[in-house]
Amino acid sequence: MLQNTFCHVNGIGQKTEDRLWEAGIQTWPDFSAAPYLPLSPDKISRIRQELTDSQHALEKRLPRYFADRLPSDQQWRLFADFRDRTAYIDIETTGMSRDAHRITTIALYDGRDIRYYVYGRNLAQFVEDIRQYDLLVTYNGKSFDLPFIERFFNIRLRHGHVDLRYVLRSLGYSGGLKGCEKQFGLSRDALDGVNGYFAVLLWHEYEKCGDPRVLETLLAYNIEDVVNLEYLMHAAYNRKLAQTPFAPRFSLPAPSRPIVPMAPHAEVIHHIKRFL
């Protein structure tokens, strides 16, 4: 889909992109080969240079090049070309402030393997592992997860990034990650009703009592987020693709759900609910 994309080019919006597609200019080579374009010679030359730069960025597998140039609701276009090196990530913390709170757990899923990281155990390993990926997929990660990670670890994440909050909102879905999941028919079963504040309470309870069932419940919740992000990414990609001429060619099958290594404990959830 990236090679059919023009709205990352300076001066080309989605309406202009639609007109190019309707005129049969549907790929970057099509633009270069077009015998006539209703644009000034200087603008044609500049666009051709940007498309040449785009081809080089794609060949070098640099999703950040496109992520920095695409509108937030169009960054879904990165997915198909980089999904083999995509990480779905989500963090849990002791609170919302990046200055006053810390990360407690991180879940990472790449469509094959589930990894999880825990404060006081292996949290630092995340910094090394995340370098294996080119593209990150989050929900509200632009405002929360990624800035929190960068400040907490004192690093810069130079990956491409798809924040599904903006992509899904452009499709008419809102209500946070859990609300979007329900609109897509996803159920959390025993974890239904558990949210970010609940996760904070779970961590405080774990620090207080050290009960492994509490940590397992927290990790089950954290991992559920990233597993569902994969499904939502595929669904959003196909729905956005359906708004273009390219759906029959580039649609993706729904992913299979992986085996999740952690399960929530009902007695733990019941215990924490007493504090809500």
First to last CA, the chain: 46
Q: CB–CB of 228/107 below 8 Å? A: no
Q: Give φ, ψ of 113 to 5 degrees.
A: -120, 145
For residue 276, pLDDT over 80 is answered with: no
For residue 36, pLDDT over 90 is answered with: no
pLDDT tens track for 124-149: 999 999 999 999 999 999 999 999 99
Give the separation between CA 194 and CA 198, rounded to whole angstroms: 6
Q: CB–CB of 222/92 below 8 Å? A: yes
| pLDDT of res. 21 | 94
Q: Who contacts 255 (Cβ-Cβ below 8 Å, separation ≥6)? A: 111, 230, 231, 234
Q: How confident is the model at residue 11 (pLDDT cuts 50, 70, 90)?
A: confident
| pLDDT of res. 255 | 96
pTM of the model: 0.94
For residue 179, pLDDT over 90 is answered with: yes
Domain locations along the chain: 2-60, 79-273
pLDDT tens track for 244-261: 999 989 999 999 999 999
| pLDDT of res. 155 | 97
Domain 79-273: homologous superfamily in CATH:
Ribonuclease H-like superfamily/Ribonuclease H (3.30.420.10)
Q: What is the mean pLDDT of the chain?
A: 94
| pLDDT of res. 71 | 94
For residue 60, pLDDT over 90 is answered with: yes
| pLDDT of res. 37 | 82
Q: What is the 3-state secondary structure (H, E, C) of 154-217?
A: CCCCCCEEEEHHHHHHHCCCCCHHHHHHHHCCCCCHHHCCCCHHHHHHHHHHHHHHCCHHHHHH
Give the separation between CA 102 and CA 269, rounded to whole angstroms: 23
- A 10 A CB-CB count for 124 gives 10
For residue 99, pLDDT over 80 is answered with: no
For residue 100, pLDDT over 80 is answered with: no
CATH 1.10.10, domain 2-60, yes or no: no
For residue 53, pLDDT over 90 is answered with: yes
